[in-house]
Structure 1
Amino acid sequence: MQLVIMSDTHGNTEVIEQIKEQYPNAMFIHCGDSELQHNTEALTDVYVVRGNCDMDCELVDEQVIEVAGTKILIVHGHYHNVHRTPLNLVYRAKELEATMVCFGHTHIAGAEWIDDVLVINPGSMTQSRSEHPESYALATYNEQWQVAFIDVDKG
């Protein structure tokens, strides 16, 4: 099972479609700031939440999905003070009995286990704010989750 996690594409449908073509059998998560309408073709078959730059009221602030027996909380992160600490995300995940959180907002890729919750930020696919290039996360499940960050330009 492959899960492609993306965020902060800021209106760029081309980069979303390009990644979807590369992983025809994967599931897709977008952690907000797509700046697209919920019914945009590029977001078809993508679990997507609203970010602070999204204006479409049809998008939800958070979603919980289940993949490979794992409950996953999807948020953008702007309501959870993610620039200061990931702990608010962990607390929210525990409230919902999720063991993985996918979020964006900071444009900084990273993944870590905190109190038995896997916290993943795929970075931004269009505007990285760290030394790491524009990226998305590829989470692969084979008895446990493995997370890799993929450079958008190198795919």
Structure 2
Amino acid sequence: MRVLIVSDSHGEGALLREVVDREQADHVIHCGDFCTESAQLPGGWITVVRGNCDWVEVPWEARWEGGGIHFLITHGHRLQVNSSLLPLQYRAQEVGAQIACFGHTHIPMSEWVDGVLLLNPGSLVNPRGGFPKPSYAILETTGREDVTLSYFTPDGERLPGLGGKFPVFARSNPP
């Protein structure tokens, strides 16, 4: 399974469609702040949540299951991700999610904490926090033991030093 995870595209519907078309993922997750009419979002297999800058009525939070993995999708502002990832981690554990996808900070990151992969794809158009390039993430299952997470720029250039392999099926901290 191949999942494209994006966030904070802030009205750049054409760029979002370009990335979706190029990546040919089995599923697309948008973590909010798409800032377009829902008709401008790519069609197909997409789970989208509402961010603090969105006006379209979509859920604030969603859950999706694919390949035996349970995902929590949220923008993150309602869980105060700028201050701490602990509320996000607790919410993921509360709903039984192995992966919690969020945006809002515009900073790409992935962290394995107490059986939950916390994953922010960064912003598709406006990086922050000293990160020099816009980004998105691709998550791929590599069997029944772990997943591989990679980060890319909108033009498809791989971003080294981000992502890795995570044992989301084990529900324990990696070695």
Task: Calculate the TM-score normalised by the size of structure 2.
Answer: 0.83
Cα deviation digits, residues 2-50 of structure 1 (max 9, x gap): 1100000001011111111112243100000001223335254321000
AA in 2 matched with 1:26:
D
| 1:131 match | 131
Report if aligned partners of 1:124, 1:136 keep a CA contact under 8 Å in 2: yes
User: Using a 3 Å threshold, how does the CA distance of structure 1 residues 140 and 48 change in structure 2: closer, same or farther?
Assistant: same
| 2:148 match | 146
AA in 2 matched with 1:152:
P
Cα deviation digits, residues 53-105 of structure 1 (max 9, x gap): 00112x10000000110110000000011011111111001110111000000
Q: 1-10 vs 34-43, which deviates more?
A: 34-43
Report if aligned partners of 2:51, 2:60 keep a CA contact under 8 Å in 1: yes
Q: In the aligned structure 2, how far is the partner of 1:36 from the partner of 1:65?
A: 22
* Greater gyration radius: 2
SS of residue paired to 2:79: coil
Correspondence 1:64 to 2:63: yes
* Identity within the alignment, %: 36
SS of residue paired to 1:18: helix
Q: In the aligned structure 2, how far is the partner of 1:55 from the partner of 1:29?
A: 18
Map 1:1-155; keep pairs closer than 5 Å. Answer: 1-57=1-57, 59-129=58-128, 130-143=130-143, 144-155=146-157
SS of residue paired to 1:39: helix
Q: Return 5+ residue gaps in structure 2 as ranges.
A: 158-175
Task: Calculate the TM-score normalised by the size of structure 1.
Answer: 0.94
C-alpha deviation, 1:151, in angstroms: 1.3
Q: In the aligned structure 2, how far is the partner of 1:50 from the partner of 1:25?
A: 21
Q: Over aligned residue pairs, what C-alpha RMSD do you find?
A: 1.3
Report if aligned partners of 2:75, 2:102 keep a CA contact under 8 Å in 1: yes
Cα deviation digits, residues 82-139 of structure 1 (max 9, x gap): 0111111110011101110000000000001011100100000000003241000011
Q: Return 5+ residue gaps in structure 1 as ranges.
A: none
Divergent runs of 4+, >3 A: none
Greater relative CO, 1 or 2 (CA 8 Å, sep 6+): 1
